Structure formats: structure tokens, C-alpha cells
Structure 1
């Protein structure tokens, strides 16, 4: 019987050679921003332009000279109208103002913007309301009264005040969120260099499996593993390229496996690796040199590894909890590292109550974190308790040689 740590090292060796999964991953690729959410930047990204690109207004109002507003209220003539997206406006003459919209270019000669809220119509009966939203209205030639003085720089966004061209926009190794994509787009970039995702195929096995929501025949169950493994692969930063279920027919399994190895860097299977009859994964892969054995853990004892057509194949047992625990312990750390994601190493917490474990096996019990930082058991050790697994948010890692732990003792914890 192999230990958990020995099997974990075997999987890491299996994946390190052909893929470099234990190191920096499988290279880089350039993707459009529309596909970049959640991806990891491969290198530092420098600003290609100044941000903002030009000197512009922070408010709807009037571009003015601060020196002309001393002693406000003052009444000044409106000599122009500048909407956003307008070409470079003419310079502002002393003693005048120009109506300006948010984001519009501030004219040369103006050093501040007066918000509409700080203006009022002058006594001129022909004056239009400075706050008018009528696109056809113009204030050119009229006058406006500025009620509040402003200093140089007020409500003006200077060119490059956010970031200068050539400065660091985003660091390498960053997982891209919507705010990062906004910064890239604002800088004129429509694509970004990211770490290439590991391509993973998932195959679940068992004649008893039916898709969730299908009409069940006698003896069938819904295939929870296909959903769980597909989601786990994606959450770990890899790209799911195939997800299919096979019956216990060896020919069918090998046909799906052939398509999987052509599409993926790594194949993950569930079920069919125990010592009974109809163990399709073992029957198909042992003649190809697979290593099939038992790991001293509960749940998740039956495990296997293989290389088929140069592609690593990692095989987990079929009980839903065993499958999920196996992924967390053996594959998640490697895939997250390859994807450039933050590691989720085991931590230590205090037990809220006593725990009993089995003799001779390292046990991974389902538990949950309590508000006081302690952990408690959620359910029993059965590898079929998939609903109980859903109520857990951690795995309690009970070492092989320990059968009892008291309340208040420390225990290893893996986040789910």
C-alpha cells in the first residue's frame, strides 16, 4: 500500500516531465481581452500611452481661468461649446469661459473647470440655462455668472495623471479581474500575454451513470463526478477540453481516451480502478503499463496513473467523495501552481469536538469552519455522502497513526 505523500510525489513526477506542471506551466499565449478574465499575466504589462490620454474635464460645466474668477460672483462671456469627443478646441481668451462636458478636452489657456452647479443665468434676457441638456442649445455669445471661485487645477484631469507611458500598468503573475481588463482597454490594448492553460480531459466511467436530469433506468445513478471534476479542473486554472462518460465497455473507454489524449495535456478519470470485475479503467490501462494500486487513505484508496500516447493519465476512484478528495489532495496543488494561482496549502485549526479515525489509514474527514476559528465534523466517513460533502468547506486531515483526537487539539485542514 502506498502512502498519500508517495502517491502525490508520483503524480508530480508524472506531470513534471512532459508538461512542466510542477514549475511554470506550459508556456504563454496571447488572448483577446474578451477571453482574458481570470487568466494570469505572463509578464509585466507597461502602459503604451499616457492615462488620461489628454487633459480633460472632470465635470459638466465651464472651462475657465482661475485668475478671472477671483472675487466671484463674476459674469463672463461664453465663447465656445466643447462636447466629449470633440477635436482640439481653440485656446480660451482671458475674461471668457467655454461650456464643456465631462471627458472633453480642456482648451489651452483654461486652468480649471467650474461645475454647472456653481453657475447661474445672468440678467441677460437672451441667456440660455447653463445646465440645459438640450443638444441643440448653445450658450455661445451669452454670458454666465460664476458663483464660486476656483483654483488652478480644479476639476481638470491632467494628461498622464493616472499613469505615464512606459510605467507599470499590471504586474506579471496577476489574475485578471474586470478592473484590470478596464485598465488594459483604457490603454488601447485589445489583447494580453497570459500563461497558457493546461488542457484537461475528464472521463467518468460506469454503466450505472446517467446525465443529471435524465430518466433513470433501474440501478442507474446520476453522474455527479463529471460535473464535479469538470468544475474542479476549471477552478484550478486549467481549461476543460473534453468531458465524457463511458460505460464499462473497454472498447468504448479506449475510444474516448484516444480522443482525449489528442485534445488534452492531461486526462483525469474516475471509477474503474478497483480490484473487482468490470473495472474498465484498470482493464484498459494495465496492458498499456498503468500503475494501479491502493493508497493508505480514506476515502480515495484505489488510484492509478498511466501515460497513453505521451499524455499523462491520472485515475481516481469512482465514489463521488473519493473523487473530490483525490482531486483536492493530488491534482489541485499542481494545476494551481501551473496556472500561476495562489497556493492553497493545508493549515492547522483546533477541533471543536472529539474525532475518531480508522486504524492504519490517513483519513480525510469532511468538516466546516466555525465562527470562532475551530473546525467540526460535518458527516461520517462514507465515500458516497455527496450531499454531506456539499455542507463541508474543509477536509480534516487525520494522520495514519492517530485514532482519536480530543476537542481543542490541532488538526490539519485543507480548504475546499
Structure 2
């Protein structure tokens, strides 16, 4: 056996995860960018945002009704002459005459001279006068300027993950752009002479390339900006060229395939000459793994079997990428097994499962090539490396997919 194929002890999953996290952690300082408000949803604020103005901007009516002086309607019923109508958006500076009423719409300015609004349902009007049937106190149904927020007050703190409720408040004070953390930029590079793009004709021995689009989808789903998805044959020179293109564009590169013990492991063979480390992690699926840094850019190399690629992403990359994006950590729960489980000694198993009625069952077909079966799963069942057998009903950790 050549030294290239010499077996080394398998590294624990947590050890490899820590190495990847150490490589990705500097991306927390990746910089900022300004984006239009319409594109800010799901982004993380880079700076505190203070209101540039009072909100409400002006004193306005909380109801459709009539603006009056409270003293004019202290005794009801009270019939007052109508002095006009104030609609929302009205820019005329009307003043309420003494002893009169102005019809106002919700959101319209409450004119000087008025100190309350009587809702329309408590009135009768013939278009010339209005009869007030219920008295009101000063301030009733009037929204004073600044009662929501004062100019200079903090609206949203740095680090806030912008949800629709934040966008509503920030847009209401007239902000057109926001300074947010730049998303992590990722490139995906698949390898293998056997892979063909969807829509092409397959020759004997060829399969469709699912890993490129699947990794891109997984990254996008976790707020990562996918800047390129490319494919290389097993030719060393082509892989070097595609790798250089990926590194030039991205903060992190994900490769799939070419990391195992075969004769055409282009990823391992090229990246090992650049200081990359490759070996086996004590897990199933996804044992062969690689980690490199090329021109300062981390390169995470996953095995090429489709399930192995996706499980590797879930275990090693997804948690920290979500943290970097400001997304909430996905919950790890414990549920009873519906089925008995056997697991090889010394390997941490990540079994595909489905939650049914507060328990978790195995999805048929656990082979690392069975990507269609994985589509039926909604969790990974995490079986520790020192466990070889679990009976139905045993509690296990489950991780959402």
C-alpha cells in the first residue's frame, strides 16, 4: 500500500468541527454594505439606528370623526356647525373656529384649536352641522407627535436581524438605506468526470450533478450569498483553474468529491500540495473530509456521495454560518426512537429520520448515495460513536434538516 493510501486514526466529529469553526470565525469581521430598505429583510444591522424625527411626525386623528374642543361637547347632545373637512394627507393649515367642528379622517392632522376627536359613530350630521352624542375629554383619540418615538431615540441596535416589524419602523421614519453586515460569500465547486448537468443526456457510467445545486440551496437557505457554482473534471489543471476562480470571488469555498482513497481524488491531490489537510472523521456518512486555506480563503472539502455532502454541510458548516448571519440556532431536541438502531463502534452516526407523533423513526435506506430517501427525512438522528445498539423507545438527539 502506498503512503498516499496509508490509514490514519479517524478524527472525532467535534475536533473537525472546531477546526472548521476556527477557519470560518474571522468571517465575523467581513465588513458592511449599504442596501436599499427593500433588500434589507433578513440582514443584520451593522450600526445602531436612531430615529431622525419624531413619530408620529405631527398630531393626528386616531379615528374617523370630528375634531372639537372638549369644552364644546361637555354637555351632550351638542350641535356644532361644520367648518370643513381634513383628509389624511391634507397639507392645508386649517384652524378650528371656536364652537365649531372639523370632520377628520384617521391619520389626518388634528388642527390647532381642537383638543379631542369624537368618533363618527357617536355623531349625527346633515352635512352642515354635526350633533355630538357623547362627550369627550381633551386628548381623546388624538395621537400627539413623538408619542411613538422621539427624534434621536434608538430604533434598532447593531446586530439586529431585520424582520418585517423592524423594516416597518425604519421605513416609517423615512430611511431609504441601511448599513448591514455584508453576507458571507460562498463558492461551490463540484468535481468528477462522471457528473453531468441536469437536462443533458447521460452516457453509461454518468450521473446528474445534484451536489452543486444542493449545496447552493443549503447555503442560500442560511443567508449565505452564493457567488458561483462551478464544476471541474478530474483533471488537475482544470481543477486548479476553477479553484482559483472560486477563491478570487468568495469568503469560503465548498468542494464536493475527490477526497477519498481512490485513484482520481483531484481535490485531495491538488489541495494537499497547498497545505490542505485530508483524512477520515469518525462519522457515517461523510467520513472523508478536508480543510484547506488558499490565499486566505477557507476551503471545506466534502465527500462526493450526495447524502455525505449534505450531512457534512449540516454537521460542520450550517451552525456557524447561521450564527455569522445572525440567524437563530436550530434547536436540538431529544425524542424516543420508533425503531431499534444498530450502529458501528467508533463512528458517530447521522441517520435520516422523520418525526411522527413526538417520536422519531428511520427513513428507509441509509446509504450515502440515497439522496431521494433523504428528501423524505426532516431530521438527522445523532447516534454517539460509543453506542452500538439502541432499543425502540430510547431517547436520541435529533437535528432539524
- Per the TM superposition, whether the score is higher than 0.5 is yes
1:353-406, CA deviations, whole angstroms, 9 ceiling, x for partnerless residues? 32111233111101122333x322123321112122122221111111211011
Q: Contact 1:201–1:243 at 8 Å: present in 2 too?
A: yes
1:192 aligned partner: 178
1:112-139, CA deviations, whole angstroms, 9 ceiling, x for partnerless residues? 22333433333xxxx4xxxxxxxxxxxx
CA distance in 1 between counterparts of 2:30 and 2:331 reads: 22
1:257 aligned partner: 243
1:139 aligned partner: none
Cα offset for 1:52? 0.9
CA RMSD after TM alignment: 2.1
The gaps in structure 2 that reach 5 residues or longer are 1-9
> Does 1:403 pair with 2:394?
no
> Does 1:353 pair with 2:339?
yes
1:186-220, CA deviations, whole angstroms, 9 ceiling, x for partnerless residues? 01211222222211111112223233344444433
Output aligned runs, 1:304-319, within 5 Å: 304-319=290-305
1:95 aligned partner: 99
TM-score by length of 1: 0.88
Output aligned runs, 1:7-406, within 5 Å: 7-16=16-25, 20-21=26-27, 24-87=28-91, 89-122=93-126, 127=127, 142-344=128-330, 346-372=332-358, 374-406=359-391
Report the 3-state secondary structure (helix = DSSP H, G, I; strand = E; otherwise coil) of the residue aligned with 1:391. coil
> Does 1:4 pair with 2:8?
no
TM-score by length of 2: 0.91
CA distance in 2 between counterparts of 1:118 and 1:225 reads: 66
1:124-157, CA deviations, whole angstroms, 9 ceiling, x for partnerless residues? xxx4xxxxxxxxxxxxxx3223343333333222
1:412 aligned partner: 397
CA distance in 2 between counterparts of 1:96 and 1:85 reads: 22
State the aligned residue count.
Answer: 392
1:146-181, CA deviations, whole angstroms, 9 ceiling, x for partnerless residues? 343333333222212222223332233221112211
The gaps in structure 1 that reach 5 residues or longer are 128-141
CA distance in 1 between counterparts of 2:57 and 2:92 reads: 13
Report the 3-state secondary structure (helix = DSSP H, G, I; strand = E; otherwise coil) of the residue aligned with 2:273. helix
Report the 3-state secondary structure (helix = DSSP H, G, I; strand = E; otherwise coil) of the residue aligned with 2:238. helix
Structure 1 stretch 196-205 or stretch 24-33: which is displaced more?
24-33
Cα offset for 1:69? 2.1
